[in-house]
A and B are shown apart, each in its own frame.
Chain A
Amino acid sequence: MCTVCGCGTAKIEGAHKHDHSHDEGCGCNHHHHDHSHDHDHHHHPHDMHFGENEAGVSVPGMETKRLISIEQDILSKNDHIAAHNRVHFKEDGIFVLNLVSSPGSGKTTLLTRTLTDLKDQLPIAVIEGDQQTANDADRIRETGVPALQVNTGKGCHLDADMVAQARSRLDMPKEGVLFIENVGNLVCPAGFDLGEAHKIAILSVTEGEDKPIKYPDMFAAADIMILTKTDLLPYLDFDVAACLEYARRVNPDLKIFQLSSKNGDGLDQWYDWIKAGVDAAQS
């Protein structure tokens, strides 16, 4: 069962079963549960009824119902595992990028082009998330770069535990870059930290310039945006300036690349940024 999705259907290539319990913990010294206490309830006053328990009587000191204050983030388990992933990535000097977008934005095409151009300069590996099939991992492997497919089954996003498991099954590109291609979905992956250095939202010019304001959660969660398929701009009515303005409305700090995986426009800036990130990950 997955950490937060619990769907029980996630499959990772090479794994025959989900072979560890999430209750085992990760050996870290911090716990989520060190602050919990029963207390009188002040915030939600209720009418008082005595003798409603199974015995139908009220006995002083034997009240069966009680209130427990918790104040715990729903994503705390995921975030805990993500933090753990991040520590491992930092130790190995790996620059990790989480790519998110709608299906069909050209994520895999951008990735295969990037891998082909950079694989002789940097250690690289790829974790591929899709609901079904290993087609994308196969496409990646054709470039000669190691890739691991994670099938989420009915799940609509990767979570930190899936990445933690994938991490142990894939040779990590020490002092290089790990790309995590999330499930094609512009909504669900937004809230799930995987331990990455950057969440990168990819938007293609065939999708409509108002996507950032239609799906603001993702563009707010990301800190990088890539506008792809710019070679098609002459054939479309896509308003680039409006798109960038919408994106910055949602997230004023967004760093934006514009590029074409097909004709290579804008790829140099993207590659320079990746190399600078890998350098910075070594310090």
Chain B
Amino acid sequence: MHEMSLTQGVLNILEDYAKINGFAKVKTVWLEIGQLSHVEPEAMAFCFDAVMKGTIADGAKLEIVETPGQAICVDCAEELEIASRIAQCPKCGSYKLHISGGDEMRVKELEVE
């Protein structure tokens, strides 16, 4: 389950920022997770508590902001929202879609003290 690795990546970012910004405790973490990213939000939430235990983010609240997948049809230039990478353009039926958004995995914001 690579969500474990990714959650460890989140912790690394928190620890780096704790040094730079001088905080000792993270209360809330906001993650932005695109619908087309490599993350299953439920798996991430499952890993979060385990990975953060005994760290500066022990007991922190996880807020996942999910962003929709966005694409542009290569054949007819239609802009569309898609839920998976194997979507079809509703206008021309093409599968040739250029992904333009919704594949991000980002630490967005922290509430700290």
Contact = CB atoms under 8 A, between A and B. Distances in A.
A73 interface: yes
B80 to A, nearest CB: 15
Interface stretch (A61-69, A131-139, A196-204, A272-280): A61-69
Interface in A40-80: 41, 43-44, 64-78
Interface string B1-30: 110111011111100110011010001001
A170 interface: no
B104 interface: yes
Contacts of A7: 4-5, 8
B5 A155 contact: yes
A65 B17 contact: no
Contact of A65 (B1, B85, B105, B112): B112
Interface residues of A, number: 47
A78 B9 contact: yes
B86 A159 contact: no
A220 B5 contact: no
A65 B27 contact: yes
Contacts of B6: 4, 74-75, 191
Contacts of B10: 74
A103 B107 CA distance: 32
B113 interface: yes
A92 interface: no
B103 to A, nearest CB: 9
Contacts, number: 127
Contact of B95 (A36, A44, A73, A248): A248
B91 interface: no
B17, B38, B99, B106: most-surrounded residue (chain A CB, <10 A): B38
B53 interface: no
Contacts of A156: 1-2, 5
B98 to A, nearest CB: 9
B85 A250 contact: yes
Contacts of A248: 95
Contacts of B85: 216-217, 220, 250
Interface of B: 1-2, 4-6, 8-13, 16-17, 20-21, 23, 27, 30-31, 37-38, 51, 63, 74, 84-86, 95-96, 99, 104-113
14 contacts: A4-B9, A5-B4, A6-B12, A32-B16, A64-B113, A77-B12, A155-B5, A156-B5, A188-B2, A188-B5, A216-B84, A216-B85, A220-B85, A249-B95
Given A70-B17, A220-B99, 10 more contacts: A1-B8, A2-B8, A4-B9, A64-B113, A65-B27, A66-B112, A68-B112, A73-B107, A77-B12, A192-B2
**What 5 A-B pairs come out closest when comparing CB atoms?**
A6-B8, A5-B5, A188-B2, A191-B38, A249-B95
